[in-house]
Chains A and B, each alone.
Chain A
């Protein structure tokens, strides 16, 4: 009897927790859709902001986010894939070096994103950028200031663990029999990786890439000091230009705007765009990951 009652209490508690989570996600979606949907239009997506951001669209923020994630992907994915190949194929399972790399990757994954922002400011802009200016530009400021390049590279550091972990997981699903088949035919280790292991890991590489993009597209802190701009009348033309970004746009409209109430509809609509973007990217990643797990069985 007593035990039975305990069971009922535990079951209710777990049920309530689950409902709470569903409630939270539904509320976020409902509020965002209710506030944002009426203001969402084609014009909103393709126009520049107007009248102190109380009117117009978010075109430069969409383009800025897209360019930033593109550069970030170009930097993070090859680097991440190479690291994952090393960990899965070359590193001895228990070597100190491999353990160190794994520890570094795990640590990198839990570093608060604002720290990445500060690191980007200090390392990319303060150290690399300013020295590039000194050496190649005769001291004229070009690279030693916030830009889309430094913001993207900072974001690449943040998303690197995501790429490494997904790709390594995918590489490890390739059965040892496949590697042996290839090696027994006289393939070198690299030929085996390139022709058997990597083709079999394509979905994993894609998943990692998409997760990285969806993480990077929504983050604000890493680009806060490294390249995001409050408002630009023009799109970025070079890697040394600053850029506007969706997440940062929401942040400045809600905290820095002279008339917060007037920008509210645009805030909602921008939030909705950002949510739809990251949700749909995550959905694709979930489907791909599900496929990999099925294949692994």
Chain B
């Protein structure tokens, strides 16, 4: 049996009086890819953002329940959110490199962690770009602006940037939804490589993508977790009718 990385128990989230997530309970294994699927507005992105406490940034959000990462409840009062987020990288739907050079983008995380030695930073930048499989494309243009790159390259720069702080978990919020098929293919390949080292949780609209990249798939509907199981089971023999209807394209 695989090791458990994230254990969510009875998690509910409210925007004001509006309940966006309803009593979600799930286990996410270490060094696997777990995909969240479901129609728009089903709460899958909101749920993803509870795992690194990104929802803290929004006023008027209330969270009940427990999220254990390596056995520690990240909603405990004495948890340092800043340290928590260093452990959990996040890739956003819209690639969001800083208006800085490629090098400075990757070095951002290490620098805020107090690494100032040039040789050490060079090493981290090279290592992170190599891990994100974009070193060969970038090594000659490290000091060009990251904004001058293509969308697919920008997204891989963002992945490299999150790897540079040495996270354990990488959250991806529809990372390829704005990309062309070739760039999407590269991101998917990358996800496959990265799961050797990292626990990856990916929200996707694209069911083929979930089927291709993930080991486990969770189906969300109207703020509830309908079911979670091995990806091949979800896509061949789902336990619930709702899931079957959704993946066969009957709604959503």
Contacts and interface: CB of A to CB of B under 8 A. Distances in A.
Contact of B99 (A182, A186, A200): A200
Nearest to A177: B96
Contacts of B97: 181
B173 to A, nearest CB: 10
A180 B92 contact: yes
Given A177-B96, A178-B96, A184 B90 contact: yes
B82 interface: yes
A177 B87 CA distance: 19
A8 interface: no
A22 interface: no
A238 to B, nearest CB: 41
Contacts of B94: 177
Given A184-B85, A185-B161, A186-B86, A191 B59 contact: no
B162 interface: yes
Interface string B59-93: 10000000000000000000000110111111010
A138 B165 CA distance: 60
Contacts of A34: none
Contact of A186 (B59, B83, B92): B83
A254 B98 CA distance: 55
B85 A185 contact: yes
B112 A183 contact: no
A185 B96 contact: no
Contacts of A199: 99
Contacts of B88: 184
Nearest to B90: A184
A184 to B, nearest CB: 4
B237 interface: no
A187 interface: yes
B175 to A, nearest CB: 13
B54 interface: yes
A184 B98 contact: no
B165 A181 contact: no
Interface in B145-171: 158, 161-162, 165
A195 interface: yes
A184 B99 contact: no
Contact of B57 (A93, A175, A180, A196): A180
A185 B52 contact: no
A255 B109 CA distance: 63
B108 interface: yes
A175 B113 CA distance: 23
Contacts of B158: 181
A242 to B, nearest CB: 46
A196 B109 CA distance: 12
B59 A177 contact: no
B96 A186 contact: no
Nearest to A295: B99
Interface string A170-204: 00000101111111111110010001100110000
A184 B59 contact: no
A186 B57 contact: no
A191 B112 contact: yes
30 contacts: A92-B59, A177-B96, A178-B96, A178-B98, A180-B92, A181-B92, A181-B161, A182-B98, A182-B108, A183-B54, A184-B52, A184-B88, A184-B89, A184-B162, A185-B89, A185-B108, A185-B109, A186-B82, A186-B83, A186-B85, A186-B87, A186-B112, A186-B165, A187-B108, A187-B109, A191-B112, A195-B108, A196-B98, A199-B99, A200-B99
Top 3 nearest A-B pairs by Cβ distance? A186-B86, A184-B90, A177-B96
Given A177-B92, A181-B97, 9 more contacts: A177-B96, A179-B57, A181-B98, A185-B85, A185-B89, A185-B108, A186-B83, A187-B109, A191-B112
Interface of A: 92-93, 175, 177-188, 191, 195-196, 199-200
